[in-house]
Structure 1
Amino acid sequence: MSKNDEVGRIGEAFIQYVLQKPVFGSARFKVTPLGEKYQLFDFMVNLLDNKSSMSGPFFLLQVKTHEVASLSDAINIEFTAVEVMAAKERMVPSYLVGVQTCGRDQRGYFIALDRDREAGVYSVPKRHSMDSEPNMKSLYEEVGDFFASSVKNQFESMFS
């Protein structure tokens, strides 16, 4: 296995771990790996209702992992404009996660691939941490609101 594959697997394992953590006391997400053969996205994430059952709404995640010397380093990744447009064609909420791995520590930050994004992404800002309960609650609500809305195919996110 190449070094890049090892780093990528660490990032994907981190995402599965962090999304299974309770959000204000309850499990909110069911993470399903899409496998290496799925084009563009790594995970489909279903929202869980109050009975821990999949409630219908879901989102797609692409994970890009960057090995760094320090967790204060920038998260440099590559997600081209062509990939951004392909993500938007799915017409469901989708997000790009930049994961930093430094030794045994990982941090993940995400941005939306919403209707306003057109350019490629080459660095993920450290504004929206995957390990923040308020961010995860807002993410849950944003995806739920998208599916509850009568206006589909116009995904607009607060996580730009």
Structure 2
Amino acid sequence: MTEKKPAEELAGVLERARAIRPRLAKATDKLNQVIEEAEKALAALQLGVRGEVNLDFDEESGWYRSLVFGKEDKVWRLLIETGDCVVGEIHSTTPLVNASREIRLQVIGKLPELVQKMMEAAEEEVRRVEATVAQAESFTLSLMRGAK
């Protein structure tokens, strides 16, 4: 059995790289398409609430990375947000489709949790709005009775 020379081994690796490149590009395009479809489906729910799922957190520094469904330029989007929770500062917000492939792959499994968080936020918002409406109605009724 003859050993391959390093140049021959490299040539084989480069050939494999040329062959895999279009498959990887096609798979990544499909991943982006699926993300965009998920984004549209979430927006179609018309909940009007932000949802957030933690992806990474460093307790010492307070640095975090989260998957967010929120507004960016008046459009509801899937976003990756990084920031510092100690000072309450958001450092960057990136549309998920523009995040690294590694992050895009990481968050797909988090989408059901994100929807659950959005539902919890929507239910809490309903309670807040209903309580505020009841308070406003009570106030208005008091004013109308006092004006008579």
TM-score (norm 1): 0.26
TM-score (norm 2): 0.27
* Bigger RCO of structures 1 and 2 (CA < 8 A, at least 6 apart): 1
| Higher fraction of strand | 1
